[in-house]
A and B are shown apart, each in its own frame.
Chain A
Amino acid sequence: ELKVEQNPLFLSMQEGKNYTIYCNYSTTSDRLYWYRQDPGKSLESLFVLLSNGAVKQEGRLMASLDTKARLSTLHITAAVHDLSATYFCAVDKTGYALNFGKGTSLLVTP
């Protein structure tokens, strides 16, 4: 069974600070996704990482994938309040049945 673990599950950070969210998964996969969910809203696709060593950046967020370590990271640079949300990583082996982590609830405070 493919298991996906995120940590931390809760994160409170000050504006302007940097932090990293980690996503570990249990079996081989070359495809990893990051999603964002705002309270009461649906999931928004942030990144799709397709190969070992892949790195993608959008604004203050940067995601990377190490398939050998079965690890993806989502790095937040100089956090701002608008980044407050829940972030999910998801891994799939089938091309459609994603296994999601439990999510990291991020709160950015002044």
Chain B
Amino acid sequence: GAGVSQSPSNKVTEKGKDVELRCDPISGHTALYWYRQSLGQGLEFLIYFQGNSAPDKSGLPSDRFSAERTGGSVSTLTIQRTQQEDSAVYLCASSLGRYSPLHFGNGTRLTVT
């Protein structure tokens, strides 16, 4: 079946611009996650959605970052006023629920110039 789909696969933006990254999870997966992968920091947890519960946003690095999940399915990660340190690969994952293995998408490579 289809895996986790992320778009765009690559995004180059100028410092100060806003960007939106999209994630389509695997059908039937109630849990959705955003992680960030960078050379300096490795893999970092950003945010977790589970069903209709309030998301855990504890990993978001600043208030420039926000995410929403509409209808319990598609999610959008928004970064406002991008900075060069935001350059990284943003990975979305979904799972059947808490404690279940994560299925990752191919990521969006964000480059802030």
B-contacting residues of A (Cβ < 8 Å)?
31, 33, 35, 41-45, 48, 88, 90, 94-103
Contact = CB atoms under 8 A, between A and B. Distances in A.
Contacts, number: 46
A98 B106 contact: no
A62 B101 CA distance: 18
Nearest to A103: B42
Given A31-B99, A43-B91, A97 B48 contact: yes
Contacts of A95: 98-99
B106 A96 contact: no
20 contacts: A31-B99, A33-B102, A42-B105, A42-B106, A43-B91, A45-B103, A90-B43, A94-B56, A96-B33, A96-B48, A96-B50, A96-B56, A96-B98, A96-B99, A97-B56, A97-B58, A99-B45, A100-B43, A101-B42, A103-B42
Contacts of B107: 42
Given A44-B104, A96-B99, 7 more contacts: A33-B102, A45-B101, A45-B102, A96-B33, A96-B98, A98-B45, A100-B42
Contact of A102 (B42, B45, B93): B42
A5 to B, nearest CB: 11
A99 B44 CA distance: 7
Interface extent on B, as a size class?
A: 20 to 34
Interface string B44-59: 0100101000001011
A91 to B, nearest CB: 12
A-B pairs, 6 with minimum CB distance = A95-B98, A100-B43, A42-B104, A45-B101, A97-B45, A43-B104
Interface in B13-57: 31, 33, 35, 42-43, 45, 48, 50, 56
A48 B101 contact: yes
Contacts of A35: 104
A29 to B, nearest CB: 12
